[in-house]
Chain A
Amino acid sequence: MIDARGLSCPMPVVMVRRELDKNHPSDLEVKVDNRTAVENVSRFAGNNGYQVEVQSADDDEFTLILTKKA
């Protein structure tokens, strides 16, 4: 799990990229707290062969579930 709450872009994407490059996970959970990060991480994951599901209880916190496309 990557906790990128409180970090502004591009830091959340940098952290996700580092994890994908290093461990090539089949799925990854990413926590962020702003919509810019949601958009940027989703775009990066989409461009790199992952599907993204966004879960959010409120506008203050978002959990992104990245799953490698078959």
Chain B
Amino acid sequence: MKQNHWLIIAAGALVGLAALVLTASGNPGNMGFCIACFLRDIAGGLGLHSAGKVQYIRPEIIGLVLGAMLMALAGKEFKARAGSAPALRFVLGALVMVGALAFLGCPLRMVIRLGGGDITAISGLVGFVAGILVGVVFLKNGFSLGRAYKVKQAEGFVLPGFMVWLLVLLLAVPAILKFSAEGPGSMHAFWAISLVAGLVVGALAQKSRLCMAGGIRDAFLFRDFHLLSGFLAIFAVILVGNLILNNFNPSAQVQPIAHHDYLWSFLGMMLAGWGSVLLGGCPLRQLILAGEGNGDSAVTVLGMIVGAAVSHNFGMAGNADAMTDGVFVPGGVALAGQIGVGVGLALLLVISVANLRKEGAK
């Protein structure tokens, strides 16, 4: 038990370290590792959306899934399972993405932004916690997406196979993919560094069960702080690393790829937190579970990719604050994004109520 505890702290510390290394190697500021942003970039790289600044096939995501798969295979934990409300999970994955992209980051990037001194991310954290609390209320009252079943092994290799295919495309025929010439999508570490970082983090996250939503959820639901220690380790390493590297910039003004629209950051991350609790884990955890052979999580990841495409195609993603020629140009969440987050929260309420067990607290 104690060994497990150190494992999750080590995994969290390593995620923080990987984020620092990746940022130093070329990834965007306060975006060493961001599942939502990187899935969004992959959606763009495949031409599913046409936001020119966020298109790239991120090897970190490929590494995460494959690292988790290899660790699960080595530990005899790779199991093909599916059948727990896949269509609902697809929708939930898409909604989590709409919320995260309104805020401009998944729960992992939220912590990375906080560790870089991005004060605007505090409203995202408060919203994330609020969303998790709402989800916990439904869990306590019998919410469940139902059980999964053992399925043929091939089902478990769908997302890892897709990731291998993406890697082949990236390395062999990059010309058929779309790559940003400017903006966050154009900023990336050398592919091998990204891939290795993903593989290592994926393997450790699989072994340690690291989950950004699970930590806060378990603290409220069971007074169990095990997973939360991984979350805190990420923050601590990012904070100390940024202080050492002189990258800590405590301010609410023009942070890297962030906006100061506090209300919609709160509501966006509330959507992401609530949706993650209903799914049983944050976007990072969904990638890891898909790597372990979980077909439902694979469908969730595909839903997240589609959600990212929809977010950008319909102008729902947040716009970053900018400083242009010395003039502050505020970003924020446009009306389309506000409607998207509002509709998303309403849909979560419907899904949460519709999946309560009839016997309630029994």
Contact = CB atoms under 8 A, between A and B. Distances in A.
Nearest to A14: B139
A9 B280 contact: yes
Contacts of A59: 76-77, 79
Contacts, number: 64
Contact of B1 (A6, A11, A43): A43
A53 interface: no
Nearest to B139: A14
A27 interface: no
B148 A6 contact: yes
A8 B289 contact: yes
Contacts of B79: 33-34, 59-60
A36 B4 CA distance: 11
Interface in A1-23: 5-11, 13-14, 17-18
Given A43-B224, A46-B1, A11 B77 contact: no
Contacts of B84: 6-8
A11 B144 contact: yes
B260 interface: no
Interface in B125-154: 139-140, 144, 147-150
B299 to A, nearest CB: 14
Interface stretch (B53-61, B192-200, B214-222): B214-222
B82 to A, nearest CB: 10
Q: Size class of A's contact patch? A: 20 to 34
Interface in B75-117: 76-77, 79, 81, 83-84
A52 to B, nearest CB: 10
Contact of B147 (A6, A14, A42, A60): A6
Nearest to A11: B144
B173 interface: no
Interface residues of B, number: 30
Given A34-B77, A34-B79, A7 B144 contact: yes
A13 B281 CA distance: 14
Contacts of A33: 79, 150
Contacts of A47: 222-224
Interface in B256-309: 280-281, 289, 294
A16 to B, nearest CB: 10
Nearest to A9: B280
Contacts of B221: 10, 13-14, 17
Nearest to B147: A6
A5 B147 contact: yes
Contacts of B224: 43-44, 47
A66 to B, nearest CB: 15
A60 B361 CA distance: 29
A18 B4 CA distance: 25
Nearest to B72: A35
Contact of A35 (B77, B81, B217): B77
Contacts of A36: 209
Contacts of B289: 8
Interface of B: 1, 4, 76-77, 79, 81, 83-84, 139-140, 144, 147-150, 209, 214, 217-218, 221-224, 226, 280-281, 289, 294, 361-362
Interface of A: 5-11, 13-14, 17-18, 33-36, 39, 42-44, 46-47, 59-60
Task: List the 5 closest pairs (A to B, CB-CB), nearest first.
Answer: A6-B147, A6-B148, A8-B280, A59-B76, A7-B147
Given A43-B226, A59-B79, A60-B150, 19 more contacts: A5-B147, A6-B83, A6-B147, A7-B144, A8-B84, A8-B280, A8-B294, A14-B140, A17-B221, A18-B361, A33-B79, A39-B209, A42-B1, A43-B1, A43-B224, A44-B222, A47-B223, A47-B224, A60-B79
